[in-house]
Amino acid sequence: MNKTQEFMEILKCDCGCSMLVVEKTIWEDGDIDFDISIQDSRYDHNNTTILGRIKGATKILFGKPVYYSDVYISKPEVYKNFVEKMRGLI
């Protein structure tokens, strides 16, 4: 089945390490679905180097608790603006 329309809203972490992505897809038959994901290319606010990423991978390997990803927003108006954009997807 083919997509007819796609909409996407993105909220980036203040430090740029990750982003919250909300996608809305309208399919050929009229079905509508949503996908919410956190995407990153560099894990951890404080460990953005290769060594930091290896440290993070080591924690995972030994079963220690880790934050896989998060989006930190320090400005309420940025969050409010994002929420309004998400409402626009409905």
Interaction pattern, residues 17-36, with Zn ion; x per rule: CB under 5 A: x-------------------
CA–CA distance, 32 with 87 (Å, rounded to integer) = 15
Q: How many residues bind Zn ion (CB under 5 A)?
A: 4
Q: Please, which residues bridge with residue 22 across strands?
A: 9, 36
Is residue 29 within 8 A of residue 9, CB to CB? The reply is no
Nearer to Zn ion, 36 or 89 (CB): 36
Nearer to Zn ion, 9 or 20 (CB): 20
Interface positions with Zn ion (CB under 5 A): 13, 15, 17, 45
